[in-house]
Amino acid sequence: MKIQFHNTLAGCIEPFEPIDPPNVYMYNCGPTVYDFAHVGNFRSFMIADVLRRTLELLGFHVHQVMNLTDVGHMTDDQLADGGGEDKMVAAAKRLKQAKKQGVAPVDNPDDPYQVAQYYIDAFIEDARLLGLKVSNEYPQNMPRATQYIDGMQEMIKKLLAAKHAYIASDGAVYYSVESFSQYGQLSGNTIDRLRSGAGGRITDEHQVVKRHPADFLLWKPDATHIMKWDSPWGAGYPNWHLECSVMATTLLGQDVIDIHMGGEDNIFPHHECEIAQTCGATGKELFSRFWIHARHLFINGEKMSKSKGTFYTVRDLAAKGISPVAVRMELVKAPYRMNANLTQQGLVDSARTVQRLRDFSTDLDRRCDGAVASVDLTHPALEAFGSALADDLNIAAAMASLFAWIQQDHSDAAESLAVLRQMDRVLGVLDLGLADNQEAGGDLEIAETCAAIDQARAQKEFEVADNLRQQLVDAGYEVHTSKGGTTARKKLA
């Protein structure tokens, strides 16, 4: 089976072959934990999840690491970020406000570690609701930046020793982009282009101490900062790019990894700087063989926006009656190299797809009495499904093959169930949050209403039955009447 992915580093689709098969070492940039993660953030994490699951289906042993960025202030260029306020300070203010209103998420909002932990807990909860596999490996494969300060300092020392870094007159340590000839190879922002670039956000004041305007901060001495650590360069904090270089190489145990992922906005400067740092420290040609980037998510055709209130979190959507599994399906089925668009219609569509797969699964399960057969990738349906995904995660073609297969003969229910479960290793929707979606939802009141509907129908009191049914529908239930009686289950969206 031909496995290929779009590699930002090469600018095209390339055959994928891990360095150390069957192991695959992949790292993806995780969330900053000074606020709740929104669905847009989760899109890129979901792409990483789908890629990981695809590789697992194809027989690889995937080692995935996703970081949690818990250092609020990550760069020297305060002027460029949200008015120069530290992210953790902003989060503390928000939480204090909440405390005044009687909600006390953390004991001490001024403690950035408590703030971070609060948002980490929320993130893990949301990630598990969405079925991100790596979230079940928390904390071992989901490291916090603040736990790797020593490693970051070690990397800075290596970079200083290798003359890739220098200490400027302001006492800060900078990376010298001119010392790294490959700088710009990922993003196309080579040094000469950056020089002529018109970003205009770096003020002269910041440039004065640097050897080159594009040099970026590695360590900032700042004794007044909310989060600071001792270092040979004074008490201060590391840059934002350093954590990924250090945690990826440390936790994956490799100088060169197979896949590095993130959102498209990470390409520059973040990933470009990661490459410069890691290769500068390891002396290797490459940091990651593949760089895979997910495009952004829109809401109703528009960019997500705070002022329009479209920074939806998983919990926001759940409050609107949209189950996490519907969100998962919606994020999974959108091609990762195009901007995706989250809409009500799309979510309902996705919810129906999930429901259809679950009903199919339930039917197979009943017919084979839960005795699942054993199948591998040589099975024609799985071959089609797997090879579609192996072709740069062509999820649309994979889903088409899945639906085509569903139309076929399933007299061997045990085998079909096995095939479906293999497919669901990637989709991850059959069992996700299933308890909330079962017949009657485990809710006694709902079951009683269903029984009342049946009773009314038996006595031909159709108006009574219809009213009861409408009550259930209004409450977000899907009501199903058959010869066996009436059942209801919570709609997924």
Partner RNA sequence: GGCCGCGUGCCCGAGUGGACUAAGGGAGCGGAUUGCAAAUCCGUUGGCUAACGCCAAUCGUCGGUUCGAAUCCGACCGCGGCCUCCA
Alpha carbons 312 and 21: distance in angstroms, whole number = 39
- Out of 132, 152, 267, 420, point to the residue binding RNA (CB under 7 A): 267
Given a contact cutoff of 8 angstroms between Cβ atoms, the answer to whether 362 and 489 are in contact is: no
Residues 486, 490, 492, 493: is their CA dihedral positive or negative? positive
Assess 362 for contact with RNA (CB under 7 A). no
- Based on CB atoms, which residue is closest to RNA, 230 or 302? 302
Q: Does 85 interact with RNA (rule: CB under 7 A)?
A: no
Q: Which region among 121-129, 291-299, 370-378, 420-428 touches RNA (by CB under 7 A)?
A: 291-299
CB 73, CB 34: distance < 8 Å = no
What is the footprint of RNA within residues 227-256 (CB under 7 A)?
A: 240
Segment interacting with RNA (CB under 7 A) among 69-77, 93-101, 372-380, 431-439: 69-77
Residues touching RNA, count (CB under 7 A): 85
Choices 72-80, 133-141, 371-379, 443-451; region in contact with RNA by CB under 7 A: 72-80
- Region for 231 from its dihedrals, namely left if φ exceeds 0, alpha if ψ lies in -120 to 50, beta otherwise: beta
* Candidate residues 203, 466, 467, 485; the one interacting with RNA per rule CB under 7 A: 466
Show contacts with RNA in window 87-116 (CB under 7 A). none
Give the C-alpha separation, 411 to 381, whole Å.
15
Which 292-321 positions form the footprint of RNA (CB under 7 A)? 294-297, 303-304
Q: Is the CB of 63 or the CB of 469 nearer to RNA? A: 469
CA 330 to chain centroid: 13
- Does 41 engage in binding with RNA (CB under 7 A)? yes
Q: What secondary structure does DSSP assign to 62-116, as a single string?
A: EEEEE-BB--S---S-GGGSGGG--HHHHHHHHHHHHHHTT--SSS-TT-HHHHH
Nearest distance from residue 45's CB to RNA, in Å?
7
CA 270 – CA 409 distance, rounded (Å): 50
Peptide bond connecting 380 to the previous residue in cis, omega within 30 degrees of 0: no
Cα–Cα distance, 231 to 44 (Å, whole number): 34
CA-CA distance, 441 to 435, in Å (whole number)?
A: 7
**Of 223-231, 263-271, 370-378, 416-424, which part binds RNA (CB under 7 A)?**
263-271
Of residues 54, 67, 146, 266, which one binds RNA by CB under 7 A? 266
Choose between 177 and 256: whose C-beta lies nearer to RNA. Answer: 177
76/209 Cα distance (integer angstroms): 12
Q: Is 174 helix (H, G, I), strand (E, B) or coil?
A: strand
- The 322-361 contact track toward RNA, x by CB under 7 A, reads -----------xxx-xxxxx-x-xx-xx--xx-xx--x--
The piece of 93-101, 184-192, 365-373, 377-385 that touches RNA (CB under 7 A) is 184-192
Using CB under 7 A as the binding rule, the residues of this chain from 397 to 436 that contact RNA are 397, 399-400, 403-404, 407
Q: 20 vs 121, which CB is nearer to RNA?
A: 121
Task: Among 58, 66, 71, 74, indicate the residue that binds RNA (CB under 7 A).
Answer: 74
Beta bridge partners of 65: 27
Cis peptide before 139 (omega within 30 of 0): yes
State which residue, 224 or 408, has the beta carbon closest to RNA: 408
Does 396 bind RNA (CB under 7 A)? Our answer is: yes
Tell me the window of 18-26, 70-78, 107-115, 163-171 that interacts with RNA (CB under 7 A): 70-78
Site for RNA in 442-461 (CB under 7 A): 457
Structure-block tokens of residue 354 = 């999930």
Task: Concatenate the DSSP letters of all residues of 315-351 into one string.
Answer: HHHHHTT--HHHHHHHHHTS-TTS-EEE-HHHHHHHH
Tell me the backbone φ, ψ of residue 255, rounded to 5 degrees. -75, -35
Task: Please identify, among the stretches 146-154, 318-326, 388-396, 430-438, the one whose residues bind RNA according to the rule CB under 7 A.
Answer: 388-396
Binders of RNA among residues 118 to 137 (CB under 7 A) are: none
Q: Which of 80, 98, 124, 377 binds RNA (CB under 7 A)?
A: 80
Restricting to residues 185-214, which ones interact with RNA according to CB under 7 A? 187-189, 193-194, 196-202, 213-214
Q: What are phi and psi of 327, to 5 degrees?
A: -65, -45
